[in-house]
Chains A and B, each alone.
Chain A
Amino acid sequence: MTLPRLSSDMGLRALLALCVAAYALLLSNIGCSSGAVCYRKTDCPTGTSCQSGQCVRTQALGDGGVAGSPSTDETAGSDGNASAGSDGTAGSEASAIAGSDGTAGGTE
């Protein structure tokens, strides 16, 4: 029984296919950091910024700067009570949000 001879061209293609498969395996198994860590600003959604590997709301950072209480909580900007309490410059907006939240809070 004789084995079929492989041409050098076929050998090269087989080698490339093996390299591709190995690379795919490497990508799927390598211990990369999770997608939650940001290395680029464009890793974060619009309106947020990458700070120390975490996406931080740009608005929340601004509020924190005014109130002196840095916040990295993504819900901080939408929380009427938190905004009203820490950001004295956004009185009209905060009171509107706080009003709706206050109603909800009163019933809880």
Chain B
Amino acid sequence: MQTVRKTAPLARLSVSVVTLGCAILLASPARAEGYLFDGNFGIGTGLEGGDTGSGKLGWRRARLHITTGIDLRDDESQADALGFRAFAEIEKRATLGGEARYERWISHNVGAYGGLIGVVTPETLFGGSVGADVVIPFGKRAGLFLEPSFSVLPVGSDLPSSGPLIWFLFSAGIKLGL
């Protein structure tokens, strides 16, 4: 009887140590600061303004843009995000370009951004861009995004004159939480 009383605390201690060991070894490592990824794919057009060389700004419908990209949001500060886009203009001579932007989300579904935008081939165009995003959610991870934007592109070999090219674009598409 005394032997049982002496061994019981030892057994409890052993069980505790083993349990603790298992808990430590089997637990997945804690996640440090990371990024949440959102992917998107959209299409857009709008107004394109430019100078033909006469010094007068003219307007016409902008070429159709197909856009795809990702947003990286800090999981500890989800209001701030970095966005990267690649786009192609698919009318007339097709062009390929990209955009890097800082996004500030006012709520989970409404945000604004500013960044750098450029066309890289077959001619070049570079400038700045600002815009807004509204996401209409479809379920937990998907949504329809609507994106009005304003871009001024004053530099590049695609410009026939010294005047900048101006885009008022409206894009819409699918946004997915990855």
Contact = CB atoms under 8 A, between A and B. Distances in A.
Co-assembled chains A and B:
yes
Interface residue tally on B, bucketed by range: 20 to 34
Contacts of A52: 52-54
A41 B93 CA distance: 9
Nearest to A32: B60
A103 B165 CA distance: 48
Contacts of B92: 42-43
A40 B53 CA distance: 11
Would you call the interface of chain A mostly helix, strand, loop, or mixed? loop
Contacts, number: 75
A38 B93 contact: no
Contacts of B59: 30, 32-33
B56 to A, nearest CB: 10
Most chain B CB within 10 A, of A34, A37, A41, A49, is at A41
Contacts of B146: 16, 20
Contacts of A43: 92-93
Would you call the interface of chain B mostly helix, strand, loop, or mixed? strand
A23 B53 CA distance: 28
Interface of B: 45-54, 58-61, 89, 92-93, 95, 122-123, 125, 134, 136, 146, 157-160, 165, 170, 172
A23 B92 CA distance: 23
A13 B52 CA distance: 39
Contacts of A33: 58-60
Contacts of B165: 39-40
A45 interface: yes
Nearest to B51: A39
B50 A40 contact: yes
